[in-house]
Amino acid sequence: MLLLLGMLLLTGCAGMPRIVAVDTARASKTIYACENAFPGGKWQFAHVIEADLPGGRDAQLIGVTEVSNHPKRIHAVMMTIEGLVLFDGLALFDGLEDGKLTINRSVAPFDSIGFARGLMEDIRFIFLKPDGAPMDAGITENGFEICRYRVSDDAVIDVMVRPDRMLEIRKYTNERLIRKVVAELTPGSVPEKITFTAQEPAGYRLNLRLISAEQISTGE
Amino acid sequence: MARNGRLRNLRSKWPALCIVFLFMAVPCARGGDWDRIREKAIDIQTISAQFDQEKHLEILIKPLISKGAFYFRSPGSLRWEYFSPIQSILLMHDGRVRRFIGSESGFKEDAGPGLQAMEMVLQEITLWLKGEFTDNPNYHSSLEGDNKIVMVPRNKAFAKIIQKIEILLSDRPGVIETVTIYEGKTSFTKIRFRDVNINQGVADTLFESIP
């Protein structure tokens, strides 16, 4: 019985939430809330990253991330506590150069293309608003404001603003939850803490604690 | 594969290497006479100091600052501790190396694969503390001017990760002012030491327990 209940709960958590239709004015307000949940313009962040990795391994790293919305671009550096740079890479997600990846430096075990692509996709998921307009917007049965974006033929991203001012972002592939972000919304600023969970193919969890955030003028 | 193994090994040794360079500098400091330096190194029984670490990267608008302290007692007890932005403690005592990472729920022992490599490095540290550092085939060390030691890795795989290390000595005998580790032209880590105490005693408990 408990097993059955557990399975039902698990299914309930992992499945895509149903969106309850709202009127146009409410939908517009919801879309505004969703889009403002992401940092606008160009920012540079430094985070302490606590990683719970597959196999029960833990790791502590420092991450420096520069994210830009126009053009969509990510520059990411990962280093040890002692300052040794393990990874330095640049990714573009705009126009003809969409998906272009440049690795400036990589040290094992961060020296595979697969790692670099996965890292950039995760950073994009955390910090950049999904492309295009939402395919749907409204509220969930829990009362969360929600915007749903189709990001590929089989993938959907839900951006949810909860009544407790927490931001929740979920990515589904074929309606299965594969990525999740939870962060506290801080109006006019950036979240102090972000929790990122990857469900598949290998589960891992990252807790990001903000060290510094600098907005960079777009004239640079 | 072998290259990856070497790089992985070096990465895991990084914290210990930083410490090694620190102590290597002490015997290197006084004028290039290695025998005399070896004799001076034997006199050092304990060291303690605070440090500020600056990480400079081309991408960074401002350097990242870390703060910490270290304690050493001859022949091989060491505590290298960061207070911020991450709390972490590396302990070397009685031939055993342990690492602890701080979190909201307290310190947690990190039993990652890098610890085994650090144990090996500890043996090297012990040798260097006796002034037997010139036998290390991995680095070419030279003295520039009166107070700057420059160390360059001989191994090409190592040199891809660390280009060189510069150690600036203080006017005070046996004291280091800064250690700068260059990973590239615009990427380097500078550690500034302050409140350095030599042979003033360090409590056993610092090497045996946390925090």
Task: Fill in the DSSP letter of residue B27.
Answer: H
- How long, in residues, is chain B? 211
A82 closest CB neighbour out of B18, B161, B187:
B18
Which helix (H) or strand (E) covers residue B150, if one does? strand B148-153
Q: Quote the percentage of chain A above a pLDDT of 70.
A: 90
pLDDT digit string (tens) for A189-214? 789 999 999 997 778 999 999 999 99
Tokens of A21: 């239709």
pLDDT of residue A2: 44
**Residue B115: predicted pLDDT:** 56
- Paired tokens of B108: 């947690």
Structure tokens at A36: 């403002």
Cβ–Cβ contacts within 10 Å for residue A71, how many? 11
How many angstroms separate the CA atoms of A166 and A157, rounded? 16
User: Which pLDDT score, from 0 to 100, does residue B136 have?
Assistant: 63
Mean pLDDT of A112-118: 91
pLDDT for A60: 83
Within 8 A by CB and 6+ apart from A74, the residues are A65, A66, A67, A68, A90, A91, A93, A120, A123, A124, A127, A128
**Averaged pLDDT, B42-52:** 86
- Output the pLDDT for position A129: 94
pLDDT over threshold 90, residue B102: no
Domain enclosing residue B135, as ranges: 2-208
Per the CB < 8 Å rule, is B7 touching A48? no
Taking CA atoms, what residue in B is nearest to A75?
B59
What's the rounded Cα separation, in Å, for the pair A117 and A104? Answer: 14
Alpha carbon B54 to its chain's center: 15
The confidence score (pLDDT) of residue A70 equals 85
Is residue B124's pLDDT more than 60?
A: no
Q: Could you tell me if A23 and A139 are in contact, meaning their C-beta atoms sit under 8 angstroms apart?
A: no
Q: Report helix angle B2-28 to B114-129, nearest 10.
A: 30
Tokens linked to B70: 């270290």
Q: What is the pLDDT of residue B7?
A: 42
Residue of higher predicted confidence among A105 and B14:
A105
Q: Say which of A84, A108, A216 has its CB closest to residue B4.
A: A108
Evaluate if residue B60 carries a pLDDT over 50: yes
- Please give the order of strands across the beta sheet that includes B64-73: B106-110, B96-103, B88-93, B77-84, B64-73, B46-56, B188-198, B176-182, B164-169, B148-153, B139-144
- pLDDT, averaged across chain A: 87
- Yes or no, beta carbons of B59 and A107 under 8 Å apart: no
Domains of chain A plus CATH, in order, are 17-216 (2.50.20)
3-state secondary structure (DSSP) of residue B195: strand
A–B CB contacts, 8 A cutoff, strictly below = 83
pTM of the model: 0.81
Question: Is cis: bond before B211, omega within 30 of 0?
Answer: yes
Predicted pLDDT of residue A117: 93
- The CA R_g of chain B, rounded to the nearest whole Å, is 17
pLDDT at A7: 42
Of B66 and A4, more confident:
B66
* ipTM exceeding cut-off 0.85 for this assembly: no
- Number of domains into which chain B is organized: 1
Q: Is A109 exposed, middle or buried (0-12, 13-18, 19+ CB in 10 A)?
A: middle
Least confident of A51-60, A100-109, A110-119, B188-197: A51-60
**Residue A162 in tokens:** 């909860």
Among A195-204, B12-21, B87-96, B145-154, the range scoring the smallest mean pLDDT is B12-21
What pLDDT sits at residue A155? 95
- Please report the pLDDT score of residue B30 as a whole number: 42
Task: Report how far Cα B73 is from the mean position of its chain's Cα atoms.
Answer: 14
Distance from CA of B23 to the nearest CA of A (A): 17
Interface residues of chain A, partner chain B, Cβ below 8 Å = 44, 46, 48, 50, 57-60, 62, 64, 66, 75, 77, 79-86, 88, 105, 107-109, 111, 209, 211-212, 214, 216
CA dihedral angle for residue B39, residue B44, residue B45, residue B51, rounded to 10 degrees? -150
Evaluate if residue B133 carries a pLDDT over 70: no
What value does the mean pLDDT take over residues A136-155? Answer: 95
CATH number of the CATH domain containing B144:
2.50.20.10
**Measured distance CA(A124)–CA(A139) in Å, rounded:** 24
pLDDT band at residue A58 under the 50/70/90 scheme = confident
Please name the residue of chain A whose CA is at the shortest distance from the CA of residue B80: A82
Q: Where residue B174 falls among pLDDT bands split at 50, 70, 90?
A: low
Would the pLDDT of A5 be above 50? no
pLDDT at B35: 63
- Give me chain B's average pLDDT, please: 74
Collapse the DSSP code of A55 into the 3-class scheme (helix H, G, I; strand E, B; otherwise coil) and give the result.
helix
Nearest to A28 by CA among A183, A129, A145, A187: A145
β-pair partners for B73: B46, B77
Q: How far is A210 from chain B (nearest CA, A)?
A: 10
Which helix (H) or strand (E) is B122 found in, with range? Answer: helix B114-129
pLDDT at B65: 96
pLDDT digits (tens, 9 = 90+) for B67-92: 999 888 887 788 989 999 988 888 88
